[in-house]
Amino acid sequence: MRLKLLTLIAAATLAACGGGGGGLTVVNGVSTMSGTVIDGYIENAKVCLDLNGNLLCDANEPSTTTDKDGKYSISYDGDIAGKHIIAVVTAESKDADDNGKTLAEAGKEAFNLAAPAAKPEAVTPLTTLVTHAMLADTSIKSDEAGFKKAEDIVKASTGIQVALLSNNFVAKPDTAAQDLAKVITVALGDVSKEIKASLDEKKKTDVTLTTESGSANGQKTVEQKIVKAVSSQIATVVASDGTLAKTVTETIAENKSSTANVVSGQINNIVVATKTGASTAVSDAKSILAKGLVVAGSENGLLKDGKTSFKDNLQVEYLKGDAATKTLFNSKKILYINASNTPSWEERYEWGRQYVLSKTGEWIYDPDASSGKATANGDITFDQNCMTFKTDVDKVDADDMICFTQKDVSGKKIKELIDDFCKDADLKVFPNCNKDAVFAEGSIAYDITISVTNDRYRNEVNYTWDGYATTDNKKTIDAFIDYSTKNESWMGHDCNTRFKIKSYDATTKKGFMSWGDDSKFSCLDAYKQAFKSVEETSFEVKTVGAVEMLILDVSSVFKKNNFGDGLGQKFIFNYMYDATLKKGGIYKGEMTLKNTKRQIEFNGDTKLGTKELLNSYLKALGMSDYPFPTTPVTFVK
């Protein structure tokens, strides 16, 4: 009986670990992690347990090499909570997809994969995205709830829908997962090569960067930015059903053509992160609000007169608040430089009045506090290093939560953290710029993560535009559908994406939208071009609360043409009316999905930090001080 019982226990253990496909066992405090490294099965990859968190395999870390079937097993006498498995796939490794060739022989670049140590069954491109989601959010724990949260974050930000962890998509064939893996592995290799080559060039003129990038924090930063760049690529090539929008071959070619652009946005991030060291947690977000928070970056648009345009000018938004008195000092200004090179701080033109949908399905006006207005029943709450901005404490349950980490950059040379800061977007040198200036005492830089607490619907009523055209100018979804079935419309920056309804079933209230790519044209000439459908996504008409709306899956061509927009979102079309403006129409809004996270880092281009950080930068440029507001608004009734 005892022998039979032990046999049953052994069988149950194997089943829990994927039927002999690997898993985690702990005996007398020793953890044994086994599994398979997969794109196809990957042979001759070095696999280790990353003990120091640099996302590489070091000599003192438990390691092994995968066999011809990609299998590995390593043991560690210690706690593995929060640790990750790393697979280093070199030029001499072999991917079964390449029919016995090494990566070098197959013309592929080396890359690294990762997986949570507590989920070692499969180490794949998909688990790599989960590992990096966990590392980006220190609140995520290495338990089932944490793994699910990390998976949800990856799925929301990329559009991928297949299982991510413990998914041996070769043993249990999953074509969608296999195709995604093939694309991601090539992208990891290409981006890794490009980033490391660009860093090597920078090291030639910056000796300290060699030492700093070689530290554990520097190595980790490089690996994180590689995966972040690849994730941004993947988000633009995944269709609304979670599969690739094009074939594997076409997608790889498209990604290769965009690699240089994707990498250029990460290089300065890496330099800044390695030179400033690891971020430290903020113990109390309330203190950040009390000191005042600055968000500054390059923007395009119109000044308040609605006529004067600006391009690549510095926009500064400032927020300071008192949680006890429920008051805010908030403003947003453009550092406008006119044709005579005279700088001035100006207000920008806002295109419309913003609304958010309440829990009961009514549109709630959501004013911008920087205009001197605030929500009558809003609030700001705090939880350790996070603050949550509530539009209406009673009616809206989808709010922005912002979590902070920080770095003290006081005394550091500005030019080391902000590349070519003495030059404008046209590479003209600011005449009074002090290139050797340093950040003043109290200059704190922030990295933030923004998430939404529930699915959130937003829309607006435009000041000057009456909305999308409809049949007989009727302001209904049916009239919009009828018109859009016969005619094309546009969205995106400068009308870069065209759309037209391909089909609609009025009984099921479901249909398909065709999309066209007008990125080579502008609003002035896109309409002259013949429509060529390059993609289709599905939509449905639903009533949310009291609002009838068309909910549309965002196309990959829109995400490609409007980098950073549409991620973790669906588009909505519905009738909006504003009593103040006394106008209404069919407008396009966004449904942002719960668990969508957006990271914004201090990287030179984006300047997140304290007043002292902003003042140091402006003083170095030879510009006037920012006109900080002196009149507060109340953000809760």
The predicted-structure confidence for 191-207, as pLDDT tens digits, reads as follows: 999 999 988 888 887 77
Helix 216-235 × helix 144-158 angle, to 10°: 50
Tokens at 330, concatenated: 């908030």
- pLDDT given at position 566: 80
The torsion of the CA quartet 387, 389, 392, 395, rounded to 10 degrees, works out to -70
What's the start-to-end Cα distance of the chain, in Å?
Answer: 72
Query: Which is nearest to 133 in space by CA: 116, 112, 119, 110?
Result: 116
- Of 81 and 276, more confident: 81
Question: Each residue of 265-318: pLDDT tens digit?
Answer: 677 777 777 777 667 778 889 999 999 999 999 988 899 998 999 988 999 999
Mean per-residue pLDDT over the chain, rounded: 89
Collapse the DSSP code of 540 into the 3-class scheme (helix H, G, I; strand E, B; otherwise coil) and give the result. Answer: strand
Least confident of 446-455, 499-508, 584-593: 446-455
Task: Please report, for the chain, the start and end positions of each structural domain, with discontinuous segments joined by +.
Answer: 22-276, 280-454+598-634, 458-593
H/E element, 155: helix 144-158
- Is the pLDDT reported for residue 376 higher than 70? no
Helix (H, G, I), strand (E, B) or coil at 137: coil
pLDDT in tens, 210-239: 776 677 778 888 899 899 989 988 988 888
pLDDT for position 288: 93
- Label residue 369 by pLDDT band (50, 70, 90): low
Summarised one tens digit per residue, pLDDT across range 395-406 is 888 888 999 989
Model confidence at 13: pLDDT above 70: no
pLDDT digits (tens, 9 = 90+) for 626-637: 999 988 887 765
The helix (H) or strand (E) run that includes residue 345 is strand 343-346
Residue 15 in this model has a pLDDT that exceeds 60: no
